[in-house]
Amino acid sequence: MFAIRHVPKNTKVFAGENDEILWRDTGSLRKKRELRRLYDDFAIIKGKVYGCPTSFNRLTPAWYMNESKKPNVRCDETYDFYSLRDLDAGEELTVDYATFSDYPDGYSSARPRRNLK
């Protein structure tokens, strides 16, 4: 995920994005390994509850940001994303997942959840 233009500090990065987040208990998630990994890689995790789009076919750009421990984007309590500093066009947008989501079992901050490159 890269900025397509200059983004001033404290700008809502994905303005207009307001898709509903569906919250599911881990017991209701698919058990098949490949399907479970989709939830582990893309859902917001809060304890035993996973937040995801109503359909994974509806993933918006915000769901594709890679993780960094030195992010240039932050997530607020309503899951809106804001630039932490001025961003240049072409700069990768990154966020610290741990600031808004737990890690799934078997993952840690040393092992990224999403590897989309």
- Give the Cβ contact number of residue 70 at 10 Å: 7
Domain range for 49:
20-59
- Decide if 90 contacts 2 (C-beta within 8 A): yes
Reported confidence tier of residue 82, pLDDT bands at 50, 70, 90:
very high
CATH number at residue 78: 2.170.270.10
2 and 28 both lie in a single domain: no
10 and 32 both lie in a single domain: no
Number of structural domains the chain divides into:
2
Both tokens of residue 91?
């700069």
Q: Does the pLDDT at position 41 exceed 90?
A: no
Q: What is the pLDDT of residues 4-32, one digit of tens each?
A: 999 999 999 987 776 788 899 988 887 78
Question: What is this structure's pTM?
Answer: 0.79
